[in-house]
């Protein structure tokens, strides 16, 4: 067993009590240093009637706008993760149910260890940890738990998103100096060299 695995040493009676409480009592409660959320009607809507952005919520991914550039960039990755993680014989609503009642709709909290571990087993541990931008709006950073081929896809999306964003930025800077400048897309380095040459000629 690796250092990241959790061994549940509680008695059967304690496990049964915890399992019952997690299903019957929908109010959040303190579990060690963590306090779980109150489960409300919106959680039930999320489980059984998710909107388009919540469909893959069981993976841990959160989208805010369907028409955002980040949604469009991450969409192929989410589809690949869903294909790899979702068992063919289980509907997504059941996985979202486990996500709510097992993992408290979180990647760090555990509401019920039995349901949490079942969710992890069914999805092979595949999960979206986080996505964000760092230095620039096009500097996309993706953090996932997934097999190597899906991680490679995430890396390619990061590089492609950065390249397209950086090229657009460089072209704007070039055109601000020389509106008639010819542009050859496809290489950040080539556009940086073109911009440097224009800036040097201004001096």
Contact 23, 101 (CB under 8 A): yes
Classify the phi-psi angles of 105: left when phi > 0, otherwise alpha if psi is within -120 to 50, otherwise beta: left
Specify the pLDDT at position 191.
94
Q: How many CB atoms lie within 10 A of CB 21?
A: 14
What global pTM score does this model have? 0.80
Residues 6+ apart with CB under 8 A from 13: none
Specify the pLDDT at position 47.
95
Average pLDDT, the chain: 88
Specify the pLDDT at position 111.
87
Average of per-residue pLDDT across 70-78: 95
Specify the pLDDT at position 39.
85
Specify the pLDDT at position 144.
96
Specify the pLDDT at position 4.
46
Gap between the Cα atoms of 101 and 127, Å rounded = 17
pLDDT tens-digit readout, 134-161: 989 999 999 999 999 999 999 999 999 9
Average of per-residue pLDDT across 20-41: 67
Higher pLDDT, residue 136 or 202: 136
Task: Report the largest interatomic distance among the alpha carbons of the chain, rounded to a whole angstrom.
Answer: 79
Element (H, E) at 59: none
Parallel, antiparallel, or unpaired for β 140-145 and 127-133?
Answer: antiparallel
Structure tokens at 81: 């993760």
């Amino acid at each position: 067993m690796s250092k990241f695995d959790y061994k549940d040493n509680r008695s059967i009676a304690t496990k049964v009590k915890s399992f019952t409480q997690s299903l019957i009592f929908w109010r959040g409660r303190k579990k060690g240093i963590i306090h779980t959320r109150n489960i409300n009607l919106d959680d039930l809507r999320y489980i059984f009637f998710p909107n388009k952005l919540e469909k893959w919520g069981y993976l841990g991914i959160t989208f805010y706008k369907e028409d955002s550039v980040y949604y469009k960039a991450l969409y192929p990755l989410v589809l690949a993760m869903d294909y790899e993680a979702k068992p063919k014989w289980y509907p997504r609503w059941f996985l979202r149910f486990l996500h709510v009642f097992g993992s408290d709709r979180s990647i760090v909290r555990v509401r019920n260890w039995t349901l949490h571990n079942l969710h992890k087993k069914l999805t092979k541990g595949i999960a979206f940890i986080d996505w964000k931008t760092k230095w620039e709006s096009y500097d996309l950073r993706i953090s996932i738990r997934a097999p190597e081929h899906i991680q490679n896809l995430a890396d390619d999306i990061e590089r492609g998103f950065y390249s397209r964003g950086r090229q657009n930025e460089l072209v704007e800077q070039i055109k601000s100096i020389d509106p008639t400048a010819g542009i050859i897309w496809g290489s950040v380095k080539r556009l940086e060299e073109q911009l440097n040459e224009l800036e040097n000629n201004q001096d």
